Structure 1
Amino acid sequence: MTDPIRTIDAAGLKAALHDGNEIALLDAREEVPFDARHLLMAACVPLSRMEMLVDACVPRRSTRVVWCDDGEGLAERAAKRMASFGYTNVSVLAGGIAAWEAAGYRIYSGVHVPSKAFAEVVEHQAGTPWITAEELKALIDSKADIALFDSRSFEEFHENSIPTAMSVPGAELVYRFADLVPSPSTMVVVNCGGRTRSIIGAQSLINARVPNKVVSLKNGTQAWHLAGYPVLKGSTARPPAVSAAARAAARAAADRVAARFGIARIDAATLSKWQGESNARTLYVFDVRDPSEYRTAHLPGMKNVPGGQLVQETDRHASTWGARVVLVDDDGVRAVMTAHWMKQMGWDAHAMTVDLMEHTCVTGDWKPYVLGLDGVTVAAIDAQSLQNRMQAGGISVVDLDWSRDYRDGHIPGAWYGIRARLDAILPQLPKTDTVVFTSSDGILARLAALDAKAMTSAPVVALEGGTAAWRKAGLPLEQGATRMATEPDDIRLRAREQAGGVEEAMKAYLSWEIALAEQMAADDDQRFRIMAG
């Protein structure tokens, strides 16, 4: 018999957030309900995907963890499951979000709120200069001497961008600046989709004391769209390889930033010491280089999160407040620029530069450690056999992929569902059918198959390799939101993805972001320490 999960009341949680010790506050709901209302310091870790996320975002098993929800019962389920994986200090917020609100504490909407609020506070306190979309359009039309850099990920840039812009993700701006802007008279404009990365990108260059005039584009590509200007799709403009001279100039700028902002550079011996202490204090180690560089060569065990993205969505990757954070690069620039923002967000952040030629490196993408699958056998079926069985009948396929990806293409006849709601999905299927679970790569499908075995007498299997294996086999796909066994509330759609009212959604989003600065002034849970550049 397992021990009951402890509870903590709202006042106790408030005190815990301020006692100086590590704490991970996790919300067990899907992203859409989380987006509607949640606690500022909470990270969205849905119960449906917990095993795939929690080892990376809460790596230390003795971390003080508090789960919360909005009365759905998900927090207690998540806490019990987490405890079963060896976490020893797990609690649930008694009464959930409603109790926190009833105690007089603030509730927030949106996702990645600490990061987005941080940028608003930076703009307010640092006085980050900006121009409007109309002003940018006039500069472009007059062929003024400007450089326009989009500081989002390349994938986001490729999806929608402003004409003449180049993709230069946030941590790359200082690193590549000397090659891209050889003249000090060139005006530099940094944009993103909205506000956060525009502000942080522009202020990064200002903090690095480049000689140029630097501004952010107020409200980013959304402002450009709202002004009625054309938005490009499919742009591929990217910087060339960094020259030796630009690399040296960037390193000198980063050294100055490190000195002014007190960013410590650590060596391999220090990292090894901290890794040895990681059972007592949480340690996050992030390789902040470009993903293509990471895939070519990286040190084993280091997760790749490009620096700009880490600042943009810190709670997604580092959920334990009070932890140590080490940012790693091979150039002495990108780690420092990322660390100087992380430190101002309230993290104990450090930079480390490695010479990859001196280490045994590995290649490929980072893969999370998935809890609950060690030593477990799950019945599986390959893609071609599944198609043959489906043609014969007696098979129900349940796709647990992201709802956006399900709509883009899924196995014909498959149902969509969220894993945490199997109790609502299974009764919708013919009782005599074999249930086959699939997901993007098959991992979530295996976890669901294990869950379902205890919930149904029907045979349960997982598609080997998931829907990716089905695609690779050249088998047909179906598109659209067909056979939705549960509500698709796993992903909050961006304004541009809305079926209608896109402009209204953009205006609402931008107003929400701008309001965060004032809200932070009245919230003592945030840990921002903005420093003069």
Structure 2
Amino acid sequence: MVEQISARALRALWRAGDEVALFDAREEGPFSRAHPFFAVSLPFAEIEAKAYELAPRLSAKIVVYDDGEGAAERAARRLVDVGYRDVVLLEGGLSAYREVGELFRDVNVVSKAFGELVESIRHTPSLSAREVDRLIRDGADAVVLDARRYEEYRTMSIPTAVSAPGAELALRVFDIAPSPDTLVIVNCAGRTRSIIGTQSLIDAAVPNRVAALRNGTIGWTLDGLALDRGQERRFPSISREAHARALAGTRARAARLGVATLDAAGFQAALAERERRTLYLLDVRSPEEYAAGHASGFRSAPGGQLVQTTDEWVAVRGAKIILYDDLEARALSTASWLTQLGWETAVLAPDAVAATDVGPSPRARPPIIVAPGSTISPEELAARRDHFVIVDLSRSPVYRAGHIQGAFWAAAAHLERDLSTLPRDEQVVLVSPDGETALDNLARARSVARGAVALAGGTQAFGAVTAENPQWLSEPDDSYKRPYEGVDNSRDAMQAYIDWELQLVAQLANDGVANFHVVR
């Protein structure tokens, strides 16, 4: 029997700054509609794939909940099975929590609420879409810097904008806008990254006037203005003078906030505490720099995205975070924000470690044991496709974008229920993008579909996919459609999103567990 913790006791742990992670075992769709402030989405079917990265210390306290669907109990047992030693259920689930705390909607709420709090306390300057459009058309001495990921910038961007994702802003601004007379305008899709990016430059004592594009590309679209598509303007290489100026500003800000810089000895001392204190090692440089060479044990977490979507990298409140950046300024800027978000954060001196590893972030997960007869090769599936029922467990937007011809989509959360609706005389092949989610859930499939197998290497190994003729075994409620990404969002959804962001400060104050401290 899994132990339980009350909502009041959980909130007391947050207020005290103790280590605890709260995992929502439901799919992202219902999570996005209502969840406690510090909850992190970890669907039951994705535990093996994601839990070790979100909560790297197996003895940390893990709290799991749902809203009566039964996923929490199964998730708790699975977490124990993969090694976690202090797993408890939230007593009464979401229904009980709403009696004592606020429920928040959307995703990455902690970061977004923090951004709104920063603006309300710091009075971060902003300009409307119409004002920025007029400046661009008049050829004013101004630059627009897009603080989103480059992939988002490529999808749609403000005319003339240059891609400078998040933490790059304070490092690159002096090369992009060398004259102090140039107005610097920072935009994102909505509000958070614009606010944080603008305030990062102000806090780093950039001499230019800096302002956020109010409501980002959403505000631009709602005002009836046209966005560019497919642009490739990126920040230039860093000059020695610009680097020195960026270091001076970000170091001064970090010092005022008490951010420590660790030498090799300090880093080893932190590593020695990993069994007693959860520790996250994050490399805040660009993914390309990380892949070219990084220190062993560090995961790629580009600084701007780390501040914007902190819960996608770190789940254990009360943990310690160490950041790495060979140019320092990005780590210092990111650490300054994470500290105000309530995390103990330090920066690793560039010479304290060696960049010995190459390639993408290593996966932190239990080893997958592939029993004989549990997989089918892409070649065999292609040759004998008509002999199998293919069931795709990828996220529904991924399935919509491309799936194996004839494949059904099923929500991993309801796999047993939905597989039982298929003909029992046909063999089921589970597929997922890299094959891991299919293997992780194969035993569940075999409980109702004898002889089920997983596609080795997943759909990426199979290759041939189509967006045509989707077939749904489950209602596709596993993912939240973000109204600030992509180009097919309704005006009502975009306006509702901005309206929601603007009321977050009031909801944050009413909830009372954040432990944020925005330094003036």
TM-score (norm 1): 0.94
Superposition deviation, residue 49 in structure 1:
0.9
- Equivalent residue for 2:16? 19
Deviation at 1:321, TM superposition (A): 0.2
Match of 1:380 in 2: 375
| Equivalent residue runs for 1:352-367 within 5 Å | 352-355=348-351, 359=354, 361-367=356-362
Letter in 2 for 1:526: A
Instruction: Check the 8 A contact 2:15/2:515 in 1, yes or no.
Output: no
Encode CA deviations 1:119-142: one digit per residue, 9 max, x unaligned: 000000011000000100111111
The CA deviation at 1:238 is 0.4
Assess, with a 3 A threshold, how the Cα gap between structure 1 residues 428 and 455 changes in structure 2: closer, same or farther.
closer
User: 426-435 or 408-417, which moves further after superposition?
Assistant: 426-435
Could you tell me which amino acid in structure 2 is paired with residue 369 of structure 1?
A
**Maintained 8 Å contact 2:406/2:469:** no
Match of 1:465 in 2: 457
Alpha-carbon spacing, 1:126–1:153, altered in 2? closer, same or farther (3 Å): same
Work out whether 1:531 is the aligned partner of 2:519.
yes
Q: Distance in 1 between matches of 2:376 and 2:88?
A: 38
Given that 1:172 and 1:334 are in contact with CA atoms closer than 8 Å, whether structure 2 keeps it comes out as yes
In structure 2, stretches of 5+ residues that fail to align are: none
Distance 2:149 2:56 in 1: 26
CA distance in 2, matches of 1:520, 1:137: 33
**Equivalent of residue 63 in structure 1, options 55, 60, 63:** 60
**Residue number among 403, 427, 430 corresponding to 1:437 in the alignment:** 430
Aligned residues: 520
Query: CA shift at 1:110, angstroms?
Result: 1.1
The residue type paired with residue 522 of structure 1 is N
In structure 2, the partner of 1:228 is: 224
Residues in 2 aligned to 1:389 and 1:319: alpha-carbon distance in whole angstroms: 43
1:454-505 deviation line (CA, Å, top 9, x unaligned): 3332x2211111111111xxx3x22146111112222211226799871010
Corresponding letter in the other structure for 2:59 = S
Moved more, 495-504 or 173-182: 495-504
Q: CA deviation at 1:10?
A: 2.1
Partners of 1:24 and 1:66 within 8 A in 2: yes
Deviations 1:141-162 (A, max 9, x none): 1110001000000011111111
Correspondences of 1:101-250 after superposition (within 5 Å): 101=98, 103-250=99-246
Counterpart selection for 1:48 from 45, 50, 54: 45
Q: Which runs of 5+ in 1 are unaligned?
A: none
- Aligned pair 1:329/2:325, yes or no? yes
Give the equivalent residue in structure 1 for 2:472: 484
Deviations 1:376-419 (A, max 9, x none): 566222212101111xx320111111211111111000011122
Shift, 1:427, TM fit? 1.4
Tell me, yes or no, if the aligned pair for 1:372 and 1:447 is still in contact at 8 Å: no
Q: Which moved more, 1:298-307 or 1:337-346?
A: 298-307
Would you say the 8 A contact 2:171–2:330 is kept in 1? yes
What is the CA–CA distance in structure 1 between the aligned matches of 2:299 and 2:351, rounded to whole Å? Answer: 17
Aligned 1:53-92 pairs, distance under 5 A: 53-92=50-89
Q: Structure 2 counterpart of 1:361, which letter?
A: T
- Letter aligned with residue 476 of structure 2: P
Q: How much does 1:80 deviate? A: 0.8
CA-CA distance at 1:259 after TM superposition: 1.9
Give me the whole-angstrom Cα distance separating, in 2, the residues matched to 1:82 and 1:112: 23
Label 1:506 to 1:346 Cα distance change in 2 as closer, same or farther (>3 A): same
Contact 1:184/1:212 (8 A) holds in 2? yes
Shift of 1:77: 0.8
Given that residues 319 and 343 in structure 2 are in contact (C-alpha distance below 8 angstroms), is that contact kept between their aligned partners in structure 1?
A: yes
* Contact 1:400–1:445 (8 Å) recurs in 2: yes
Runs of 4+ in 1 over 4 A off after TM superposition: 374-378, 496-501
**2: CA distance, partners of 1:355 / 1:526:** 35
Please name the residue that 1:449 is paired with: 442
What is the SS of the residue equivalent to 1:350?
A: strand
| Pairwise CA distance, 1:16 | 2.6
SS in 2 for 1:48: helix
Q: Find the residue that maps to 2:262 and give its secondary structure.
A: coil
Conserved 8 A contact 1:38-1:109: yes
Report the equivalent of 1:424.
417
User: Would you say 1:389 and 2:384 are equivalent positions?
Assistant: yes
* Whole-angstrom distance in 1 between the partners of 2:266 and 2:255: 19
Q: CA deviation at 1:370?
A: 2.3
Q: Indicate the RMSD between aligned Cα atoms, in angstroms.
A: 1.7
1:406–1:481 contact (8 Å) kept in structure 2: no
Cα 1:199/1:497, change in 2 over 3 Å: closer
Tell me the distance in 2 between the aligned counterparts of 1:315 and 1:57: 8
Query: Deviation per CA, 1:436-467, whole angstroms, max 9, x where unpaired?
Result: 1111111111112233233332x221111111
Give the conservation status (yes or no) of the 8 Å contact 2:148–2:165: yes
CA distance in 1, matches of 2:226, 2:372: 53
Separation (CA, whole Å) in 2 of partners of 1:301 and 1:501: 39
Q: How far apart, CA to CA, are the structure 1 residues paired with 2:220 and 2:290?
A: 33
The answer as to whether partners of 1:48 and 1:418 remain within 8 angstroms in 2 is no
Any conservation in 2 of the 1:264–1:351 contact (CA below 8 Å)? yes
For residues 375 and 494 of structure 1, do their structure 2 counterparts lie closer, same or farther at Cα, with a shift above 3 Å needed? closer
> Structure 1 pair 326/378, CA: closer, same or farther in 2 (3 Å)?
farther
Q: Secondary structure at the match of 2:507?
A: helix
The match for 1:274 is 270
Distance apart, 1:521 and its partner CA: 2.0
Distance 2:152 2:518 in 1: 28
C-alpha contact 1:26 1:65 (8 A) present in aligned 2: yes
Q: C-alpha distance in 1, partners of 2:53/2:423? A: 38
For residue 196 of structure 1, report the CA deviation from its aligned partner: 0.3
Q: 1:16 to 1:376 in 2, by over 3 A?
A: farther
In 2, Cα distance between equivalents of 1:451 and 1:267: 48
In the alignment, which residue of structure 2 is the partner of 1:284?
Answer: 280
Distance 1:330 1:498, change over 3 A: closer
**Per-residue deviation at 1:527?**
1.3
Deviation at 1:421, TM superposition (A): 1.4
Q: Deviations over 1:257-307 (max 9, x none)?
A: 122222111112222221121111000110000111001111122110100
Matched, 1:405 2:385: no
Partners of 1:500 and 1:456 lie apart in 2 by: 38
Report % sequence identity: 40
